[in-house]
């Protein structure tokens, strides 16, 4: 058994059998195969300053590979009616693509496509609703 371990150690410490410095030998790790962009999920921030800004958010949600983090604070401070229209439109689009939408904090909304689910803790949601 001891001989086996010694031979195994020799193979790992000197695999090629030459006595060159270990500092000079290295393995370059590169990208072995290009990965498709469709396989990746993009988390993309948006800022909604006007009602028209919702169009770009809707387009990426329809594509189905982007999670949208939407800062609604500028539109909320400017025109609350337009904000409600934009959120309604975003909600309908999320329902149409079987995605999900939720607000977090007072200034952000997250919209996700069909493959993602937004976690909503039961205790926190109930207590947050009772405060309003």
**Pick from 105, 101, 106: which is nearest to 88 by CA?**
101
* Count of domains forming the chain: 1
% of residues, the chain, pLDDT over 70: 73
Q: How far apart are the first and last CA of the chain?
A: 72
Q: What are phi and psi of 65, to 5 degrees?
A: -125, 15
Evaluate whether residue 99 is within a structural domain. Answer: yes
Contact 47, 54 (CB under 8 A): no
Whole-model pTM above 0.95?
no
Give the CATH number, domain containing residue 91: 3.30.110.150
Q: pLDDT for 15-54, tens place per residue?
A: 555 555 555 666 677 665 555 555 688 999 999 999 999 9
Q: 29-33 long-range CB contacts below 8 Å, 24 or more apart?
A: none
Evaluate whether residue 4 is within a structural domain. Answer: no
Quote the pLDDT of residue 5: 74
For residue 69, give its domain range: 41-118
């Amino acid at each position: 058994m001891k001989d086996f371990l010694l031979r195994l150690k020799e193979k790992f410490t000197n695999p090629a059998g030459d006595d060159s410095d270990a500092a000079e030998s290295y393995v370059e790790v590169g990208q072995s195969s290009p990965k498709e962009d469709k396989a990746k999920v993009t988390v993309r921030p948006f800022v909604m300053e006007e009602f028209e800004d919702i169009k770009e958010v809707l387009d990426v949600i329809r594509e189905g590979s982007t999670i949208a983090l939407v800062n609604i604070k500028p539109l909320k401070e400017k025109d609350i009616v337009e904000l409600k229209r934009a959120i309604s439109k975003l909600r309908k689009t999320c329902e149409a693509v079987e995605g999900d939408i939720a607000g977090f904090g007072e200034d952000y909304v997250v919209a996700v496509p069909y493959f993602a689910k937004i976690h909503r803790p039961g205790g926190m949601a109930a207590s947050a609703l009772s405060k309003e």
